[in-house]
Amino acid sequence: MGKWLYYIYKRIFDTNVWMWIAVGLYFFTFLCPYQKVNELIYCIFLLFILGFIIHKAVFKPIWTAEHRFRKFSQFLIIFWGVGSIYYRLSPLNIFNSGFPILKLFIILISAVGISIWLTPVIVSSIADLMGRTFYGFGRSASDDIPERVFVRSIPEGYRKRREYLQALKNLDEQLLELETDQIKPTEKQLQWIFEANAMKAEIYAEDLKDYDSAEAIINRLLDKGKLSCKGEAVFLNRLCDWRIKLKEDLDGAKAALEQIEKRHPGSEEAMYAAQRKNRLKLPEKGPAPRKKLVHLTEDLGLKEGFKGWDIPQMTWRKEIEELKKYLSEHPFDWDAREKLASLYSINCHDVKSAVRELDFLLEQDGQPKKKIVQWLNMKADFFVRDRDLERAKEALNSIVELYPETSPAYLAEKRIALLKSELKREKNKVYKVRKSDETDLKQVKTPFNIPTKVSTLASSLQKKDPAVLKNEEKKVDFDWIEEMQQLDRHLMDHPTNWEARERLASIYAYEMGETEAAIQQIEILLAQSKGKSTQIARWLNMEADFYVFAKDEVSAKKALQRIAELDPLNPAIFAAEKRIACLKNEIREPAQKKYEVTQWNEEEFLRPTVVTSGNDLTPKAIRQNRERAKNPKKESKPDEAREQREQKLRADLAKHLKEAGFSGSD
């Protein structure tokens, strides 16, 4: 009822409304046969005009604003003119008079006067109506009514000054104008109403600590049913936050999220609410944990007794077990299943299990578009890591098929074109198979790349007992055997992983001395190479390395010659022929084992770099000085011309000094 009264109150001050009232009263004058009724209406008009003048002149002076004076004058003319015409053209006054010619004259003058007075208004309204209908321009009656907007800065200013009651009062005033300005508010006005109510609820809950009033505001808005799905989700999520922070009511917070699922089942907001409900928990009580400062000792890795950093972290095996246990209770949790899929792919190298976890999420109905695109891109990442280019393209093409002509589809097409470069980047990464939970901690010796000091390394090796060194070698051998077993198990599931097979072949050749077993692994890779030049050259050079390590020059030469046999157009043939010519030098020099630290030898350190490395890193000046120190007789004599020039310069200098007056003692 109040809304309708406010609507009528706003229309009273509309000029067009009073224009139509005047026209209606003009026709009513000729239809009403009762003089007393006409006089009563005229008296009411006069009283209304008198009250209006007193109100404007006393309580709201007309000189305070120019538009008020203009509107006041317009209303005064309309009221006085309508009342005067109505009284003068009253049927009983005209037809009861004794002068019929005067009656007609009065009617004519009144008709001309009212026509002159009302014609501009009527013509303007008709012209605007015709212009809007046929030509697309013109004004409407609603153009004169100013549009109400929500001014957020005023209540925010009160709130920053901690004047919360003034802020609430201002919000109530703005809400009254926004809600009662029109019977059917626009979308923009609904958005402003939403923002004003949200701020009002925040002030009650967060500033005044009045949770009940804030909840009443939200419930009133939800009962009206004018909010969108997203708006209701925002309010109910805030209600969930307040129930956890202010009331510590975990069940009530979950109930607020369940309302989103009930009101909008299958929507994106309902899916996000379900994900949040699974992870809701009360905040921990007590003081916040303090950060501890860690003192880092310089060159700690080079000191005796250092066994590695004590890193308190969860191993990936334990994390997988906990994630499986959690997913048994909450199978639709996105974050947990994404984390499990990443662990399967990165740590276990099990792409099938990783893809299976993502497929489970993709098969669920009502998943958001953003998450579907994310999961399909994750599948492509897993396939790229597994060197499976075709299946990676299939995963990205499914994005294009599901959402054609969208930004995710455009990005997927762009990524498909760059998949080969992604594979090249993955090739440069070092393959590593996890051994055990403790191995990672043992392998971390120092977090910095500190250069090894020669004196420290030599003294530490000299102090070690030969029996201790022998036991350490046995332990290292046991580690290689354990890693070989893990590589064998891994290659049974992933036979095309060439990095793992290269690693296994290297262990066979360099650690176990099984050259034939290493060659068998390389032959498997050659059978899978599909005629690629770079891979053929790489793996046949590895075979040559294994034969060189076993000091088998003939087999190494045959391995290098096979590059030209398998691929006559291979660009690495010239390099292979060059290496064949230098094979004797490689076999003559003891090859360094891979994955093994060389023993300290002072004579070896002073020698130039090994020929097999291809580059002599010792500076030329240092080598020349060493040669001069070893062979002093071979040093060349000074140039005679140079000595003559020096003697001449000394003589000229002595002559100039003598002429200047300097003596030999000076």
| Separation between Cα atoms, residue 179 and residue 190, nearest integer Å | 9
- State whether 658 and 589 are in the same domain: no
Q: Is residue 216 one of the residues assigned to a domain?
A: no
Q: Is residue 446 one of the residues assigned to a domain?
A: no
Instruction: For residue range 315-358, list pLDDT tens digits in order.
Output: 778 888 888 888 888 888 888 899 999 988 888 888 888 999 99
Instruction: Pick 303 or 599 by higher pLDDT.
Output: 303
B/e letters for 370-390, b = 16+ CB within 10 Å, e = fewer, are ebbbebbbbbbbbbbbbbbee
- State whether 338 and 400 are in the same domain: yes
The total number of structural domains that make up the chain = 4
- State whether 575 and 644 are in the same domain: no
- State whether 492 and 596 are in the same domain: yes
Residue range(s) defining the domain that contains residue 663:
636-666
The CATH number for 558's domain is 1.25.40.10
Is the pLDDT score of 210 beyond 50? yes
Predicted local distance difference test score (pLDDT) of residue 455: 37
**Domain stop point among 100, 123, 144:** 144
- State whether 354 and 502 are in the same domain: no
Predicted local distance difference test score (pLDDT) of residue 239: 86
pTM above 0.85, yes or no: no
- State whether 416 and 362 are in the same domain: yes
- State whether 646 and 557 are in the same domain: no
Q: Is residue 546 one of the residues assigned to a domain?
A: yes
Q: Is residue 631 one of the residues assigned to a domain?
A: no
Contacts 24+ apart (CB under 8 A), 609-612: 611/582, 611/585, 611/586, 612/582, 612/585, 612/586
- State whether 616 and 641 are in the same domain: no
Instruction: Pick 301 or 158 by higher pLDDT.
Output: 158
Q: Is residue 379 one of the residues assigned to a domain?
A: yes
Q: Is residue 267 one of the residues assigned to a domain?
A: no
Is the pLDDT score of 221 beyond 50? yes
The angle subtended at Cα 325 by Cα 324 and Cα 330, nearest 5°, is 90
| Separation between Cα atoms, residue 42 and residue 211, nearest integer Å | 57
- State whether 594 and 648 are in the same domain: no
Q: Is residue 299 one of the residues assigned to a domain?
A: no
Instruction: For residue range 71-116, list pLDDT tens digits in order.
Output: 555 555 555 555 555 555 554 454 455 555 555 555 566 666 666 6
Instruction: For residue range 193-202, list pLDDT tens digits in order.
Output: 888 888 888 8
- State whether 476 and 618 are in the same domain: yes
- State whether 589 and 486 are in the same domain: yes
Q: Is residue 410 one of the residues assigned to a domain?
A: yes
**Domain stop point among 101, 128, 144:** 144
**Domain stop point among 144, 179, 212:** 144
Is the pLDDT score of 257 beyond 60? yes
Instruction: For residue range 438-491, list pLDDT tens digits in order.
Output: 333 333 333 333 333 333 333 443 444 555 444 544 444 556 677 777 887 888
- State whether 515 and 618 are in the same domain: yes
